[in-house]
Structure 1
Amino acid sequence: MTTIICRNLATGINGHTITSDINLDVTPGTMTALTGPSGCGKTTLLHAIGLLQTPAAGTLTIDGIDATGWNQRQRRRFWRDKAAFILQDYGIMDEETVGFNVSMRLNALGLAVGGDRRRIRNALRLTGLASRADETASHLSGGEKQRLGIARAIYKNASVILADEPTASLDAGNRANIIRLLRERAAQGAAVILATHDPVLVDACDHVYQVAPSS
């Protein structure tokens, strides 16, 4: 399992500071909500925590190792071995099958879905997508694509799950389903970090961090 610690972390875009003095501990088995008004930098901070963006200042440690200045190879290893992302654009390959989007692998001949088929089926079963494995992902609704992102996290047994507004624009039933799945991942030991303005999702989290834009 994975612990991420931010100390005096600052984020920025094109030389403009977005957030600063972020001190945050993200621990295994918990859900942490990054909250605040639109434009406060929630998504930017989430990207920095997930090493999708290099911090402007401060330190970010992963399991006690300073990851602030990791190169692309080190970041890719983190993404491959530990992290799963559920982003607003879903990160789904619409032209590929649902099954492929879980494992993101083809078989040795490049002709069929690769990876562990049993684990793929289990991840889709847990997220209510078992009957959709062979469909093209573009056929899924928004809520189903969110669940597909979680299926990918289940498949790779991600120890860190980073989600950007995972319940945005969902009806009450789909929202409850997403929250349940995320809570189950945390119960399995994952560190779940969410950027959200959804009060229901915030209430389901163990920790809440109010993000304030840099003055």
Structure 2
Amino acid sequence: MIRAEGVSVFIGKKEVVSDVTLTCKAGEMTALIGPSGCGKTTLLHALGLLLPVNKGAIFYKEHNYTKASTSQIKRFWQQEVAFILQDYGIMDEESVGFNVTMQKDLFGKKVKGDLARLRDVLEQTGLSNREQELASYLSGGEKQRLALARAIYKNAKVLYADEPTASLDAKNREKIIALFRDFANKGYTVIISTHDAALIEACDVCYEVQSNRIARK
């Protein structure tokens, strides 16, 4: 569970996120919504500890991470969460397989890790039999799905996604939304910044960033 209490974030002297109190529960999909420039991506980054908060606190499993050390935050990123950001976070010069497992042999040539699980998550995300392919060959939508494959492989407890369906066609959008839903149904927390009506409809909770309103379905 991720919880924000009275969180405000300034970029320079401008208050981009103002006095947000929000709980994102395990087993639920939470949508951060609002018009472009309202601060939903900034709030997503703050909830993921990618941005420091100027006021208030961010809690994970009731631990106040605004007071956490650098090493504690790094462990949070490495062990607990996964991010699907607008730049995908994909290493173009590496293979699809390595981008999922993030492991290689000592010579840097062979992908290591749970290879059966790798094949399974690539199948789930529509990237079957492409583990040897360079990520640079993938389209924008395929890179988005590759980022999700990495999150599923990692078995992250919290998934943060920034406009994850923005570059997808209708068929792939449905597939990604179903994967997010499955991720949440397994008891994990999914937090999404989006303006996609279909994705918003699939979420359990919608938080309007600009007006600080919460709608629960």
TM-score (norm 1): 0.95
Once the two structures are superposed, the pairs formed by residues 51-70 of structure 1 within 5 Å of their partners are 51-70=49-68
2:30 alignment partner AA: T
CA–CA separation in structure 2 for the residues paired with 1:185 and 1:108: 33
Alignment gaps of 5+ in structure 1 = none
The answer on whether the counterparts of 2:81 and 2:159 sit within 8 Å (CA) in structure 1 is yes
The answer to whether residue 150 in structure 2 is matched with residue 158 in structure 1 is no
The answer on whether the counterparts of 1:107 and 1:115 sit within 8 Å (CA) in structure 2 is no
In the other structure, the counterpart of 1:82 is 80
**SS of residue matched to 1:132:** coil
Return the offset for 1:213: 7.6
Percent identity between the two aligned chains: 53
1:24 alignment partner AA: L
1:41-76: per-residue Cα shift (whole Å, max 9, x none)? 010000000011111110111001100132321111
Return the offset for 1:16: 2.4
CA–CA separation in structure 2 for the residues paired with 1:189 and 1:132: 29
CA–CA separation in structure 1 for the residues paired with 2:53 and 2:60: 14
1:185 alignment partner AA: F
**SS of residue matched to 1:115:** coil
**SS of residue matched to 1:131:** coil
1:37 to 35, 38, 45: 35
Return the offset for 1:108: 3.2
In the other structure, the counterpart of 1:194 is 192
Alignment gaps of 5+ in structure 2 = 213-217
1:204 alignment partner AA: A
The number of aligned residues is: 212
Once the two structures are superposed, the pairs formed by residues 127-146 of structure 1 within 5 Å of their partners are 127-146=125-144
2:181 to 180, 183, 190: 183
TM-score (norm 2): 0.94
The answer on whether the counterparts of 1:36 and 1:197 sit within 8 Å (CA) in structure 2 is yes
Once the two structures are superposed, the pairs formed by residues 13-52 of structure 1 within 5 Å of their partners are 13-52=11-50
